[in-house]
């Protein structure tokens, strides 16, 4: 059995379009889930407003302990039962955002809670307002600490978008399946597409690591 | 909302649950074994092993599980290797989890102070003895929370096997949806099953992390 790599190479543009789609989906989902994650994290850190705390905690725990694929199915196949219909791409973006926001909430919460209590006390004692405290003291430190973890989460979202192939969202994995159905060059196509994913992963993780080392790592940080 | 469908098709769901358990346990056992062996080899003295092992770990951590599944399940039969869906899925899940677990253990081994290695060498320990008696027990203490955390991810990821028609919980759910409709009730029940398995584990992870942190 001779392997013939001409099929994926000839369809390079088509596959690259899929990779671009994958990246777009990832960036959009990551951005939306970051916003939702901030809200969830704030609700999870204030036990004073107990109903909000309870709702956000329940949400985060439910999402983090059930598979993303089941969540995608629930939104795309389950909700039409109640008359709520989404197109595949809408359902995909909503499901992945719902999924990822729970993880983002935990990452943000851990980042803020990892800041030593003395930092809060010190900023209060020099008379900073609550907003200033957050803006100049807490946020920069929390950001530095969370950045590498958030970077890993971003890569996880890239991988999760491949699940949307099941809804026929035309991202990279879906295009590999379509191409396979047309040409039957199965192994070559899937190996090639795995390679594209790896290159994507490599570029993005290198970028994150470099940013972290170059701009964010602070060796003199006090804990 | 009509929950009678769950009771009616309980046998299908139960068989799916058993298959999910089977795949999870297989992947956890074989993946952990693979991961430990590879992390030991990657931190060991055989220099020529390092490049291929790093390539394997990088490849499986740098691509989605779904595409790996397609590559092996469709790809192997394409080059004439007969493989049934359980073998293919078990193989992919083992390789996938092996790569992640190798990385967890490698980080654990590297966090053991160098003096431990040197002291063991000075006492004349063989490499095997040093690893199993001194290094791995200390590694396990550090690696256990992320390891259990990854097991949770892995159990959830077994649902991806439904895409290639492997008869686990979600796939059985899809089958029932095709017969009886009621997708919402079925999918919610399936979510609950995963939650009942994963949530205690994640509480355990949180508890362990807190204990390590206090120490």
Cα-to-chain-centroid distance, residue A15: 22
Mean pLDDT on A122-138:
91
Between the alpha carbon of residue B204 and those of residues B144, B145, B197, the distances in Å are 10, 8, 12
* Among candidates A67, A78, A193 on the partner chain, residue whose Cβ is nearest the Cβ of B184: A78
DSSP B90-139: HHHHHHHHHHHHHHHHHHHHHHS-HHHHHHHHHTT--HHHIIIIIIHHHH
pLDDT of residue B37: 93
Give the list of residues 6+ apart from residue B161 with CB closer than 8 angstroms, or none. Answer: B23, B69, B89, B93, B168, B171
Contacts of B65 in chain A (CB under 8 A): 159
pLDDT of residue A130: 87
- Work out whether the CA dihedral A97, A103, A105, A108 comes out positive or negative: negative
Residue B215, pLDDT > 80, answer: no
- In this structure, what token pair is assigned to residue B98? 């092996």
CA distance A143 to A18: 31
Residue A161, pLDDT > 70, answer: yes
Q: Among residues of chain B, what percentage have pLDDT more than 90?
A: 75
* Among candidates A82, A158, A190 on the partner chain, residue whose Cβ is nearest the Cβ of B71: A190
pLDDT of residue B161: 97
pLDDT digits (tens, 9 = 90+) for A81-98: 999 999 999 999 999 999
Mean pLDDT on B65-75:
95
Q: How many residues does chain A have?
A: 223
Nearest to A159 by CA among B76, B61, B96, B109: B61
pLDDT of residue A195: 97
The pTM of the full predicted model, rounded to 2 decimals, is 0.93
Contacts of B67 in chain A (CB under 8 A): 162, 173, 176, 190, 193-194, 197
Residue A136, pLDDT > 70, answer: yes
For A119-155, b/e burial (b = at least 16 CB within 10 A) is bbeebeeeebeeeebbeebbeebbebbbbebbbebbb
* Among candidates A68, A162, A191 on the partner chain, residue whose Cβ is nearest the Cβ of B71: A191
Contacts of A64 in chain B (CB under 8 A): 202
Nearest to A42 by CA among A108, A129, A137, A124: A108
pLDDT digits (tens, 9 = 90+) for B114-170: 899 899 989 999 888 888 899 999 999 889 999 999 999 999 999 999 999 999 999
Q: Smallest CA–CA separation between A2 and chain B, in Å?
A: 9
Other beta carbons within 10 angstroms of residue A39's beta carbon come to 14
pLDDT of residue B214: 72
Best of A186, A205, A208 to substitute, by most chain B Cβ atoms within 10 angstroms, is A186
Report the interhelical angle of A50-64 vs A88-113 (nearest 10°): 120
Q: Among residues of chain A, what percentage have pLDDT more than 70?
A: 97
pLDDT digits (tens, 9 = 90+) for A104-115: 999 999 999 989
Instruction: Give the mean pLDDT of chain B.
Output: 93
Contacts of B191 in chain A (CB under 8 A): 62, 66-67, 70-71, 74
CA distance A160 to A162: 5
- In this structure, what token pair is assigned to residue B180? 């009886």
Q: Smallest CA–CA separation between A152 and chain B, in Å?
A: 11
- CB contact under 8 Å between B74 and A190, yes or no, is yes
pLDDT of residue A219: 61
Contacts of A197 in chain B (CB under 8 A): 62-64, 67
Give B54's Cβ-side CA count (13 Å radius): 8
pLDDT of residue B213: 73
Angle at A39 between CA A38 and CA A40, to 5 degrees: 90
Which of A33-42, A53-62, A151-160, B138-147 shows the lowest per-residue confidence on average (mean pLDDT)?
B138-147
Give the list of residues 6+ apart from residue A217 with CB closer than 8 angstroms, or none. Answer: A144
Residue A223, pLDDT > 80, answer: no
């Amino acid at each position: 059995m001779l392997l013939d790599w001409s099929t994926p190479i000839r369809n390079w543009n088509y596959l690259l379009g899929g990779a671009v789609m994958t990246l777009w989906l990832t960036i959009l989902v990551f951005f939306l889930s970051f916003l939702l994650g901030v809200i969830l994290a704030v609700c999870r850190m204030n036990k004073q407003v107990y109903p909000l705390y309870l709702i956000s905690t329940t949400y985060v725990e439910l999402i983090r302990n059930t598979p993303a694929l089941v969540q995608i199915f629930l939104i795309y196949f389950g909700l039409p039962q109640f008359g709520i219909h989404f197109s595949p791409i809408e359902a995909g973006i909503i499901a992945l955002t719902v999924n990822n926001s729970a993880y983002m909430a935990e990452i943000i919460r851990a980042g803020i809670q990892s800041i030593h209590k003395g930092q809060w006390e010190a900023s209060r004692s020099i008379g900073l307002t609550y907003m200033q405290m957050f803006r100049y003291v807490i946020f920069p430190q929390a950001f530095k600490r969370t950045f590498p973890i958030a970077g890993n989460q971003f890569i996880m979202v890239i991988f999760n978008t491949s699940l949307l192939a099941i809804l026929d969202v035309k991202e990279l994995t879906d295009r590999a399946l379509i191409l396979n159905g047309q040409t039957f060059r199965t192994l070559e196509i899937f190996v090639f597409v795995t390679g594209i994913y790896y290159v994507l992963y490599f570029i993005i993780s290198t970028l994150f690591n470099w940013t972290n080392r170059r701009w964010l790592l602070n060796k003199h940080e006090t804990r | 909302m009509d929950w009678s469908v769950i009771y009616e098709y309980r046998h299908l769901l139960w068989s799916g649950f058993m298959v999910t358990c089977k795949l999870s346990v297989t992947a956890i056992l074989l993946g952990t074994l693979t991961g430990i062996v590879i992390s030991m080899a990657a931190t060991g003295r055989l220099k020529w092993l390092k490049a291929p092992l790093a390539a394997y770990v990088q490849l499986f951590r740098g691509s989605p599980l779904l595409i790996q599944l397609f590559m092996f399940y469709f790809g192997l039969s394409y080059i004439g290797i007969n493989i049934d869906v359980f073998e293919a899925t078990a193989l992919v899940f083992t390789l996938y989890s092996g790569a992640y677990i190798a990385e967890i253990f490698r980080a654990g081994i590297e966090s053991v102070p160098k003096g431990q290695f040197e002291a063991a060498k000075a006492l004349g320990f063989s490499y095997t003895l040093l690893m199993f008696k001194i290094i791995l027990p200390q590694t396990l203490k550090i690696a256990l929370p992320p390891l259990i955390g990854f097991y949770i991810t892995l159990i959830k990821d077994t649902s991806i096997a439904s895409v290639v028609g492997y008869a686990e919980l979600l796939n059985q759910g899809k089958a029932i949806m095709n017969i009886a409709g009621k997708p919402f009730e079925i999918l919610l029940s399936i979510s609950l099953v995963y939650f009942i398995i994963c949530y205690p584990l994640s509480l355990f992870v949180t508890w362990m992390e807190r204990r390590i942190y206090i120490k």
